[in-house]
Amino acid sequence: MNQDNVREFLHVFNELQKVIAAKLGVDPDTNFGSLLYAADEKQDKVIKTYKRKLDIYRQFRNILVHSTINEHESIANPSQSLIEEMKVVKEKIEYPKVVSDLFLEKVISFNQNDKLKDVLETIKENQISQFPVFQENKLIGLISENGITNFLAHSITDDLISISGTTVRDILDNDKEKNSYEIIPENKSIFDIESIYSKKIEEGIVAYFLLISKTDRVTKPSDLTGIITPWDMPEIIENK
């Protein structure tokens, strides 16, 4: 039996235990099972994501330590793939990805007095469809491609359409999704982002957008550093 694997497994397990204890702010010698309980109590999203795997590691460690053939040989032998998986989990718990790792990009915004034709040209050129709207330096809402489409459809019905004279404010006033957003800081965890969207889905809200800022405030257009949309969920899940 490969005792080197046993020693490496126990070493990685001990390092994992220290990482979890530090994240929870408890004694590093705290029993591993108690750490998992504490993570539940504190609603730690990162640790809870890996709880099932962590519990398997705990059980396997107990077998290695408490069930041996003799003093030199363990009853079980951890595979190298299991050890490598533990290292990955340890890394993800210690350094969970945040918004700034994945979603920072230039944000195109508009002033409420800008013309609809400028928005349409931007959609065509950049293939994006959500735009923050400002009144001078105050964020007043978000316009979407759906909002624009609905506005145009109603305007055609009412025979009132005049793209050249239509402003962003006209669109915003008729966009049902204009307040379907919240501001998040760049250091927000990917796990928190998943939780936000999971909650919105439970509430029956599909179109919801997260405006990224350097902090959690927006006092001018340049404070925005990215936008997360529901269509980014596959990337969020992939990077957990």
Beta-bridge partner residues of 70: 73
Widest Cα–Cα separation across the chain: 89
Instruction: List pLDDT tens digits, range 111-146.
Output: 999 999 999 999 989 988 899 999 999 999 999 888
Q: From the centroid of its chain, how far is CA 42?
A: 19
Number of helices followed by number of strands (H, E) in the chain? 11, 8
- Distance, CA of 139 to CA of 120 (rounded, Å): 20
> pLDDT (tens digit, 9 = 90+) per residue, 175-221?
888 999 999 999 999 999 999 999 999 999 989 999 999 888 899 99
Please determine, for residue 1, whether its predicted confidence score (pLDDT) is greater than 60. no
H-helix or E-strand containing 131? strand 130-135
The pLDDT, as a whole number, for residue 161 is 59
Residue 235's contacts (CB-CB under 8 Å, 6 or more residues apart) are: 102
| Residues forming beta bridges with residue 149, ordered by sequence position | none
Q: What is the pLDDT of residue 215?
A: 83
Average pLDDT of span 35-45:
93
Q: Report the pLDDT value the prediction gives residue 75, as an integer from 0 to 100.
A: 72
Per the document, the length of the chain is 240
Contact 214, 186 (CB under 8 A): yes
Four-residue CA torsion sign, 89, 95, 98, 102? negative
Q: Give dist(CA 118, CA 130) in Å, integer.
A: 14
> For 7-26, how does the pLDDT look when each residue is reduced to its tens digit (9 = 90+)?
999 999 999 999 999 999 99
Non-local (6+) Cβ contacts of 223 within 8 A are 213, 214, 215, 217
pLDDT the model gives residue 31:
93
Residue 207 phi/psi, 5-degree rounding, is -85, 100
**Structure confidence at residue 160 (pLDDT):** 56
Q: Higher confidence at residue 65 or residue 34?
A: 34
Strands 138-144 and 130-135: what pairing? antiparallel
- Over residues 98-112, the mean pLDDT reads 95
pTM of full prediction above 0.75: yes
Q: How many CB atoms lie within 10 A of CB 191?
A: 19
What is the Cα–Cα distance from 113 to 170, expressed in whole angstroms? 9
Record: fold of 101-238: CBS-domain (3.10.580)
Domain boundaries, the chain: 3-95, 101-238
Contact 42, 26 (CB under 8 A): no
Whether the per-residue pLDDT at 164 is higher than 80: the answer is no
